[in-house]
């Protein structure tokens, strides 16, 4: 039996606790009242009311510094919960080992879109946050596969060094969609322990998730181990390159790059005499990481540094399409820059669109112009060319006519 929440009925005792949007979410998702938790903050005085025998739980809860809940209490409360409808915030707690959500498989959140947007208070929209827990060292979300939210924010937990979100797969972004917001679900991993690192497998897995936005990972890659099959300079049959791959004027190792699938660093092609990039025929992922950072104030957005792909000064380049490239991860909004190459590329909107369409959610700029601008330039140039052609043909025809007239006159005279 499902229970349909009536807003007016609930507003009487809900004020100051769950928000109206949350009640609406519970109603929309047809929550079972026996599996619904009606408080916002989980504390030692209400945790016994948490529906700990349900696999699907409706709850929009936060665990805060004054919750005073032992890890055992939390494990018991969440032991059967596989699907959560509502948000979770775990903030400023004393939790050390956060493993009580290890069984959780999906989270379907409340978006709070309009109300919060009106107040320009969007950090909380559809967010799942685990933030500012100064003594947390481990976070186990090893079953979590499905998210319907705007962001999963795991940040500012200065001792957190082990995070398992390896099952993440099925992401849907809800909430408001503004041009300055990511169209994907933001996965934020930032300001964690300096010992926290991203494994190469993990990054490849992340980048295979179409609706994820992984631009807000401020961490480094883990030191490669043998099983990672990493190379750091061009080597035949190597599939994973770690570091910035810089292809300069005298580069002759392109045959050794044919096998490359992932570059865990930037790709810079600067001053080469390549006509196309077909030798990178297996390259699917480009994902530099590595901002030196410890806190929000320390971060500097430096586009010139963070472009993940830079194609510069290649005088003979006719096409910058990569046959297999699907995903470029970058710290900056713009991941790819193409500058000062063969002049033809300034007018080649097809090349631009082909690359842009092949990539998931990235825009391309060629000498500061987006593909659509290049289209306009191409059109204007073609018009100019057409005019010139018309003038040229006109002059040609006129000369031909004069020639014919002269010829005709001469022939007549001779007769
Ligand atoms: C929640 O709903 C009640 C009843 O519909 C309304 O009186 C109240 O203003 C709403 N609260 C907010 C924050 O919108
Ligand atoms: C918890 O919610 C109930 C109603 O569901 C309310 O009566 C109670 O005051 C709330 N307690 C806290 C601590 O918010
Ligand atoms: C969970 O337990 C409570 C109280 O023990 C009970 O009322 C409720 O029906 C149970 N829910 C389910 C889904 O078994
Ligand atoms: C974190 O641990 C330190 C050292 O054990 C302790 O002094 C501090 O109060 C703890 N912080 C929190 C929020 O529990
Ligand atoms: C995370 O939790 C699961 C389920 O409890 C467990 O099997 C797994 O070993 C845990 N992972 C780590 C790294 O502790
Ligand atoms: C995600 O959440 C939004 C807003 O609550 C809802 O409209 C949508 O149906 C949900 N999508 C999925 C796949 O759960
Ligand atoms: C993905 O999530 C949607 C709802 O959010 C669910 O209906 C679907 O079964 C999930 N797919 C997989 C493969 O888990
Ligand atoms: C690369 O692989 C090919 C085919 O598998 C093999 O013939 C060749 O010896 C390998 N080269 C190196 C340097 O391992
Ligand atoms: C490339 O080779 C040319 C001629 O062999 C040399 O003059 C030039 O310095 C080299 N450039 C670089 C960057 O190594
Ligand atoms: C590209 O090459 C030019 C000339 O060698 C050099 O001045 C410039 O710094 C290089 N740019 C990048 C981003 O490597
Ligand atoms: C942020 O980190 C930088 C570099 O580690 C440090 O110099 C600065 O003091 C930190 N700022 C705050 C507010 O902690
Ligand atoms: C960005 O990085 C480049 C190269 O590392 C540096 O020259 C420039 O000053 C930086 N700009 C800012 C605003 O930090």
Q: Which sequence spans correspond to the domains of the chain?
A: 7-221, 229-372
Above 90 in pLDDT, residue 305?
no
Above 80 in pLDDT, residue 59?
yes
* More confident position, 157 or 8: 157
Above 50 in pLDDT, residue 8?
no
* More confident position, 116 or 337: 337
Instruction: Quickly state the pLDDT bin for 292 (edges 50, 70, 90).
Output: low
Quote the crossing angle between the two packed helices 349-358 and 371-414, to the nearest 10°: 150
Whether the Cβ atoms of residue 162 and residue 136 lie closer than 8 Å to each other: no
CATH topology for 7-221?
24 nucleotide stem-loop, u2 snrnp hairpin iv. U2 a'; Chain A (3.80.20)
Q: Which of 304, 307, 310, 337 to mutate to test the pocket of ligand 12 (most atoms within 8 A of CB)?
A: 304
208-212, 218-222, 229-233: the lowest-pLDDT one: 218-222
As a whole number, mean pLDDT of residues 217-227 equals 90
Above 50 in pLDDT, residue 16?
no
**Number of CB atoms found within 10 A of residue 369's CB:** 17
**297 pocket-lining for ligand 9 (C-beta < 6 Å):** no
3-state secondary structure string across 40-91: CECCCCCHHHCCCCCCEEECCEEECCCCCCCHHHHHHHCCCCCEEECCEEEE
Which atom of ligand 4 is found nearest the CA of 93?
Answer: 13
What pLDDT does 216 receive? 86
As a whole number, mean pLDDT of residues 55-67 equals 92
Percent of the chain scored above 70 by pLDDT? 87
Using the structure block, give the residue that is written with the tokens 């903050």. Answer: 41
What pLDDT does 299 receive? 47
Above 80 in pLDDT, residue 158?
yes
Mean pLDDT of the chain: 85
What pLDDT does 10 receive? 31
What pLDDT does 364 receive? 83
Query: Do the two domains 7-221 and 229-372 of this chain adopt the same fold?
Result: yes
62-66, 266-270, 271-275, 362-366: the lowest-pLDDT one: 362-366
62-66, 181-185, 308-312: the lowest-pLDDT one: 181-185
Which pairs from 1-10 meet CB under 8 Å and 24+ separation? 1/32, 2/30, 2/31, 2/32, 3/30, 3/31, 3/32, 3/33, 3/36, 4/30, 5/31
User: How is residue 165 written in tokens?
Assistant: 């979100």
Q: What is the spatial distance between Cα 134 and Cα 157, in angstroms, rounded to a whole number?
A: 5
Q: What is the spatial distance between Cα 328 and Cα 344, in angstroms, rounded to a whole number?
A: 25
As a whole number, mean pLDDT of residues 144-161 equals 94
Angle at the Cα of 128 (from 127 to 133), degrees rounded to 5?
125
**Which residue's CA is minimally distant from atom 2 of ligand 12?**
305
Using the structure block, give the residue that is written with the tokens 């060629």. Answer: 366
Confirm or reject CATH 3.80.20 for domain 229-372, answering yes or no: yes
Q: Which of 271, 306, 341 to mutate to test the pocket of ligand 10 (most atoms within 8 A of CB)?
A: 271
What pLDDT does 111 receive? 67
Q: Which residues line ligand 11 (CB under 6 A)?
A: 294-295, 297-298
As a whole number, mean pLDDT of residues 42-47 equals 93
Above 50 in pLDDT, residue 231?
yes
**Spatial CA neighbour of 202 closest among 173, 224, 178, 171:** 224
3-7, 104-108, 405-409: the lowest-pLDDT one: 3-7
Residues 6 or more apart whose Cβ sits within 8 Å of residue 398? none
Indicate the pTM of the whole model: 0.82
Q: What is the spatial distance between Cα 52 and Cα 397, in angstroms, rounded to a whole number?
A: 90
For residue 382, CA distances in Å to 41, 136, 140, 344, 396 come to 64, 62, 58, 12, 20
**Spatial CA neighbour of 279 closest among 250, 264, 257, 309:** 257
Instruction: Quickly state the pLDDT bin for 290 (edges 50, 70, 90).
Output: confident
């Amino acid at each position: 039996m499902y229970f349909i929440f009536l807003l007016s009925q609930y507003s009487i005792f809900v004020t100051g606790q769950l928000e109206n949007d949350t009640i609406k979410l519970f109603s929309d998702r047809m929550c079972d009242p026996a599996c619904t938790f009606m408080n916002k903050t989980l504390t030692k005085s209400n945790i016994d009311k948490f529906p700990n025998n349900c696999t699907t739980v409706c709850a929009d809860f936060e665990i805060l510094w004054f919750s005073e809940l032992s890890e055992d209490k939390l494990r018991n409360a969440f032991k059967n919960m596989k699907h959560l409808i509502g948000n979770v915030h775990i903030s400023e707690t004393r939790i050390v080992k956060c493993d009580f959500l290890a069984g959780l498989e999906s989270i379907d959140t409340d978006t709070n879109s309009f109300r919060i947007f009106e107040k320009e208070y969007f950090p909380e929209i559809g967010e799942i946050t685990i933030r500012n827990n100064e003594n947390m060292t481990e976070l186990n979300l090893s079953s979590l596969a499905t998210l319907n939210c705007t962001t999963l924010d795991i940040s500012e937990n200065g001792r957190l060094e082990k995070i398992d979100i390896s099952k993440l797969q099925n992401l849907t972004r809800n909430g408001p969609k503004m041009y300055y917001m990511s169209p994907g679900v933001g996965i934020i991993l930032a300001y964690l322990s300096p010992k926290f690192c991203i494994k190469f497998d993990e990054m490849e897995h992340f980048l295979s998730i179409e609706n994820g936005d992984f631009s807000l990972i401020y961490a480094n890659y883990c030191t490669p181990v043998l099983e990672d099959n990493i190379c750091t300079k061009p080597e035949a049959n190597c599939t994973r390159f770690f570091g910035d791959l810089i292809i300069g004027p005298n580069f002759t190792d392109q045959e050794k790059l044919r096998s490359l699938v992932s570059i865990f660093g930037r790709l810079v092609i600067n001053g080469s005499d390549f006509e196309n990039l077909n030798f990178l025929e297996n390259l699917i992922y480009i994902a530099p990481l590595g901002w030196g950072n410890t806190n929000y104030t320390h971060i500097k957005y430096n586009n010139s540094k963070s472009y993940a792909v830079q194609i510069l000064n290649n005088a003979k380049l006719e096409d910058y399409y990569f046959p297999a490239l699907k995903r470029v991860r970058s710290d900056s909004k713009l991941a790819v820059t193409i500058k000062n190459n063969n002049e033809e590329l300034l007018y080649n909107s097809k090349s631009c669109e082909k690359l842009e369409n092949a990539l998931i959610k990235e825009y391309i700029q060629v000498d500061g112009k987006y593909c659509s601008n290049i289209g306009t330039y191409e059109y204007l140039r073609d018009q100019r060319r057409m005019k010139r052609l018309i003038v040229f043909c006109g002059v040609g025809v006129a000369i031909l006519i004069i020639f014919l007239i002269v010829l005709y006159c001469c022939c007549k005279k001779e007769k």
